[in-house]
Amino acid sequence: MNFADLSPDTLRWIYRMAAVALLMFWMVGAYNRLMRHRNALATAWGQIDELLARRVAALEPLIAQLHEPMAAEANTLAALQQALERQQLAARVVRAKPSAAAALQAWVVVEGELASPMARLAALVEQHPELAGSEGVKPLRDQLAELAPRLVYARQTFNDVAETYNVAVEEFPTRLLMPLFGFRATAKI
């Protein structure tokens, strides 16, 4: 069969079908690329989430250890416990959808709220050398000190992945798929 033998209507139909097929292949490829980036966001958040869980696992026993000897600082310990609970709740929301900008921004806010009571507690413990070097407190403080730079690094990794995702979402013509498949730019943390 020769294309020259085909009617103009048949040729137009073939060209239209080829254009539709090409468009479909592009859409599938663009969707898969965006999904790879979104999955990379989930993986990057998973690393942060693991470090947050380890921080909680060190902070909760530390608070319990210090509750009695630092009874005069009960307000600081209570503020730290409350901030930690809010942070855990915000982290759970992000865990459900790591690309949700509003959830990430809320987590950043509560993470910032946690920093002040943690710094206050660290300063108070330093003022009591008998507590700072005690068998129950020192390993927990060491663990927290080890986790802090790792958390900073994990956040930077997440931000790098978020930037790559945001660029992919905003590129033309891929941005035309945003409303169709529900892709939205994400926030950095």
| pTM, rounded to two decimals | 0.86
Select the more confidently predicted residue: 175 or 54.
Answer: 54
**pLDDT reading at 143 higher than 90:** yes
Quick check: 72 and 147 in contact, CB under 8 A?
A: no
HSE at residue 80, side-chain half, CA atoms within 13 A, is 25
Tell whether the model's pLDDT for residue 129 goes beyond 80: yes
Confidence of residue 117 (pLDDT cuts 50, 70, 90): very high
Q: What DSSP state is assigned to residue 189?
A: -
Quick one: pLDDT at residue 1? 59
Give the residue-averaged pLDDT of 121-141.
88
Q: Angle at CA 13, nearest 5°, toward 8 and 19?
A: 125
Arithmetic mean of pLDDT, 126-141? 88
Query: Which residue has tokens 């892709």?
Result: 183
pLDDT digits (tens, 9 = 90+) for 22-36: 999 999 999 999 999
Closest CA to 131 of 143, 144, 140: 140
Domains of the chain: 3-181 (1.20.1440.20)
Integer Cα distance of 121 and 22 in angstroms: 61
Give residue-wise pLDDT tens across range 75-114. Answer: 999 999 999 999 999 999 999 999 999 999 999 999 999 9
Residue 182 pLDDT level (bands cut at 50, 70, 90): confident
Cβ-proximal residues to 41 (8 Å cutoff; 6+ apart), any chain: 98, 99, 158, 161, 162, 165, 186
pLDDT of 42 above 80: yes
Say if residue 159's pLDDT is above 80.
yes
